[in-house]
Structure 1
Amino acid sequence: MRRVNHEAPRPGWAETNRSLGLVFNDTVAEDGSAVSYWREGPFYDFDLDEILLLEQSAATLHRMCVAAGDHIVERCPRTDPQVRREAYLTSVCTPATCLLSRTGVPEYVHEQVIRTWYDNSPQTWAHGDKDLFGTHAHTRQSPDFSPSVYGRFDIWYGGRGTTPKLLEYNAQTPTSLLEAAVVQWRWLEDTGHTHHFDRQWTSMHERLIEAWRRNLGELVAARPWLPQRPTVYFAYDGTEASGEDAMNAGYLAETARQAGYPVELIEVAQIGVDMADGRIVYEPSKGAPATPIDVIFLLYPWEWLWHEEGGRPIFANMADPTKRGTVWIEPPWTAALWSNKALLPVLWELHRDDPAHRDLLLPAYFADQRPADLTSYARKPIWSREGANVELVRDGAVLAATGGDYGDTGMIVQGLAELPTFDGPGGPYHPVLGVWMIDGEPAGMGIREGTGTAGLITRNTASFVPHTIASHR
């Protein structure tokens, strides 16, 4: 792993990137200065064996996260069908008895987190002829299916001789997909680094198309009343002004379209509820006819939605005992189990004594359980975004910190792994590797880098830098 600083910028690169959808290139740094999100010129180069190590590590981390998901849901009292039936109208989950409650997931959400987590495993329904999680006991005809398509591991990696370390898992609404899957590949072609064969770890586009085909095919098999080619709605936050959310959702919609499915790109504000039957509907404009939504991809955080007024009708519809409620991609378990920092202490608890897996992790604890001898650590909110409210502590002294509005649902601490440092004009630079998981398998990488001491915490102002494999010595 090396940072190459002297690649000549491409003529008209900004216009080229914009034509590919990178309309959100101009950002503002912490000091108020204008900066380019895409860093044209430098790039990172890896040896092939380093890429193979990152790929193998990500595959192992995914299996570890599956085990952690089982661990979390098994520690929710509502997993027990008897408890669930007896306590239907009462509260049985507390932070002391339920890991979901400890992480701030509202109790009314728990059953559908658990159901959608177990949906894809037929053996989990072997509980007689009664449904485990429906609103009322009924005969279950077959297992349901709640597909998950993509996610992104944020990885610390210091180059040859080091072991990749998990920093966190963005499992529900990761962005930077467009630039990792499309824009950096165009950069590779334009700069001549392909040398007649692939020289970049970027197979996300093809893998996404195949993931839509497989997952939507299985969904139709599980719900035979759906059309063979159901329309997939792609919803994004229309109040996000830069266009980043719209372009990422639009790109994902395009991969589903290329997989053979009709798509519709909409704003979250256009999702409504038919008060007559509780169906989730698309409302294109005020007064216009509403269309029922069977399948929807949501680029909007579940942890926001389940605290908003519109959350309860969605989860009531999701609990439809006939299984004819709207299917949400990504399902709510991706946020409740994986896309929050509480996953990190759970992983450490499960694997701290396992030499085959612990090297991929940093020691992690809920903040109120931090060992006294852990004096160098990152303190992070359980729920946060874009590096907000993070504090890096080295030997008891604060090294770097960010502000923000997160942290009211609790904090975790994670052993400090300062991002590697690479010199260059305007540096030093500190990269984080984003390893993309498509349909549960590693599929490529994008790199974000910050600058200077403040860049040790990766913020939304961190630049995207392309990469190559074995193109430079």
Structure 2
Amino acid sequence: MRRIPYGPVRDGWQLTNYSLGLTYNDDVLPDGTAYSYWQEGPYYEFTAAEIEELEAATTALYAMCLEAGDWMAGQCPRRTAEGRRQGFFTSVCTADSCFLTRIGIPEYTHEQILRTWFDGDAETWTHRDKDPDGRLPMQTPDYSPTVYGRFDLWYNGAGTVPRLLEFNAQTPTSLVEGAVIQWHWMDQTGVAQHEWRQWNSIHERLVGWEDQPGEPGDPGAWRRNIAKLREARPWLPEKPKIYFAYETSETSGEDRMNVAYLMATAEEAGFPVELIAMSQIGWDVAGDRVLFVPGPGQEHRAEPIDVVFMLYPWEWFWHEEGGKAFFRNMADPEKRGTVWIEPPYKAALLGNKALLPVLWKLFGDDPERSKYLLPSYFAESSGAGSLRSYAKKPVWGREGGSVTLVRDGVPLTSTPSEYGADGRYIVQELCELPSFDGLEGTVHPVIGSWLIDGEPAGMGIREGLGTAGLVTTNTCNFVPHVVGIA
């Protein structure tokens, strides 16, 4: 792993990147400084062995996360048949008895968090009626599609082991630049002329590929997930329409373009699609249906939503007015409720920082698996006091907000934000990002390792400048990479 500071600079690269979907490249920092998110010129070069190490780490970490999800789900009283009998509005979870309640997840969401997590188990389906003998009637298992996710990893090349910093499980962005922009950069600059070239199969794993000589094809994440969904819900058409929703208050266009790219891959995979705003998702009170409402006063043109991808945090959604109705709709025992991609468990069990101390609790004593982890604890626990150098992170935080780095008991840098107002924090042993020489000073890269349908699929690199750059925030740059032969 080495940083090449003076790579080729393409003529008209800004317009090229814009035409490929990077419409949110130029921005202004709080101090008024204009900056370019994409860095044209510098790039990173990896060996094939280093990529194999990153792939192995990504595979191992995802397997550990699934085990951690099982553990967290198992700590909720609604995991049992008796817990599910209590009904939608009966409280059975407390901070002492339920891990989900302890980390701030409303109890009304727990049934569907568990149900979508344990889709293959018919006994986890939410039952509203009992037969005359008081037993829960059997229902067939459901299926809740999950398409993507991204691990943020510390890595410093050969001789080091990748370490998990956090898991962006539900709403990761930088997909356009990771899947598309850096691939075209590689082709246009010609900096890699050999077979490996770049660790980047994101697009192919989403869309699929045909059989090649000596290599079987793959239907891709969209076709594979929708096929499994139709097995559970055979009333769906062969190619159900997939809505793609984004939040319009994000004004840079980053959310819109990331969602638009995912929508384009689903369309390429053969599905009808439509791009909508979160504000266009409505509710039919009489029919208990989730609807697409084109605009104010156009309720007569509303369409039921059977399947929707939402780039919007579940932890925001379940605290908003109307959230209960959408979760009740998911609980329809006839399975006619809306299917949400990514499902609620992605935020509740995998996509928040509480995952980190759970991973350490489960695997901290396992040398083979703990090598990919950093000691992590809830901030109020006794274990937290054992760390003199650590990163303090809000359980519910995004884009590096409200993170504080402490080295040998002395604050190193912090990123104040609105996150963490609930007082829920974890601490993770400090592992400072690697340092490389950049044109403007020392830069610190973080590896974004992509998962498509649970499989390692590629890498994007973001880097921050100076001490403040030790925390990766939304102002950090994206830098492309290539893979060498050695």
Q: Relative to structure 1, is the Cα distance of residues 241 and 86 closer, same or farther in structure 2, using a 3 angstrom cutoff? A: closer
Q: Relative to structure 1, is the Cα distance of residues 378 and 299 closer, same or farther in structure 2, using a 3 angstrom cutoff? A: same
Contact 1:81 1:132 in 2 (8 A): no
* Counterpart check, 1:171 vs 2:169: yes
Deviation digits for residues 240-280 of structure 1 (CA, Å, limit 9, x no counterpart): 11110110000000000011100000000000011111100
Aligned residue type for 1:316: R
Instruction: Give the one of 320, 330, 342 matched to 1:330.
Output: 342
Distance in 2 between residues matched to 1:470 and 1:364, nearest whole Å: 34
Deviation digits for residues 367-388 of structure 1 (CA, Å, limit 9, x no counterpart): 0014433110000000011111
Shift of 1:194: 3.5
* Secondary structure of 1:247 counterpart: helix
TM-score, scaled to structure 2: 0.94
Q: 1:312 maps to what in 2?
A: 324
Structure 2: segments with no counterpart, 5+ residues: 131-135, 208-219
Q: 1:389 maps to what in 2?
A: 402
Q: 2:438 maps to what in 1?
A: 424
Shift of 1:356: 1.2
Aligned residue type for 1:136: D
Distance in 2 between residues matched to 1:320 and 1:384, nearest whole Å: 31
Distance in 2 between residues matched to 1:299 and 1:181, nearest whole Å: 17
Aligned residue type for 1:16: T
Aligned residue-pair number: 465
Of the structure 1 ranges 131-140 and 108-117, higher mean CA displacement relative to structure 2 is found in: 131-140
Aligned residue type for 1:133: T
* Secondary structure of 2:367 counterpart: coil
Instruction: Give the one of 255, 274, 279 matched to 2:284.
Output: 274
* Secondary structure of 2:368 counterpart: coil
Contact 1:28 1:461 in 2 (8 A): no
Instruction: Give the one of 199, 202, 207 matched to 1:201.
Output: 199
Identity of aligned residues (%): 57
* Secondary structure of 2:456 counterpart: strand
Instruction: Give the one of 303, 309, 326 matched to 1:297.
Output: 309
Distance in 2 between residues matched to 1:194 and 1:310, nearest whole Å: 51
* Secondary structure of 1:160 counterpart: coil
Q: 2:266 maps to what in 1?
A: 256
Shift of 1:83: 2.5
Distance in 1 between residues matched to 2:429 and 2:30, nearest whole Å: 26
Q: 1:399 maps to what in 2?
A: 412
Q: Relative to structure 1, is the Cα distance of residues 67 and 233 closer, same or farther in structure 2, using a 3 angstrom cutoff? A: same
Distance in 2 between residues matched to 1:372 and 1:152, nearest whole Å: 30
Deviation digits for residues 97-134 of structure 1 (CA, Å, limit 9, x no counterpart): 11111111110000000000001x2xx22x5xxx6423
Deviation digits for residues 56-97 of structure 1 (CA, Å, limit 9, x no counterpart): 100000000000000000000111111331465432212221
* Secondary structure of 1:445 counterpart: strand
Structure 1: segments with no counterpart, 5+ residues: none
Instruction: Give the one of 216, 226, 238 matched to 2:236.
Output: 226
Shift of 1:159: 1.4
Instruction: Give the one of 172, 182, 185 matched to 2:183.
Output: 185
Distance in 2 between residues matched to 1:237 and 1:78, nearest whole Å: 32
Q: 1:58 maps to what in 2?
A: 58
Q: 1:379 maps to what in 2?
A: 392
- RMSD (CA atoms): 1.3
* Counterpart check, 1:159 vs 2:157: yes
TM-score, scaled to structure 1: 0.96
* Secondary structure of 2:438 counterpart: coil
Give structure 1 regions of 4+ aligned residues with deviation exceeding 4 angstroms: none
Of the structure 1 ranges 190-199 and 360-369, higher mean CA displacement relative to structure 2 is found in: 190-199
Shift of 1:30: 4.9
Q: 1:462 maps to what in 2?
A: 476
Distance in 2 between residues matched to 1:398 and 1:428, nearest whole Å: 19
Contact 2:88 2:108 in 1 (8 A): no
Q: 1:133 maps to what in 2?
A: 126
Shift of 1:198: 3.6
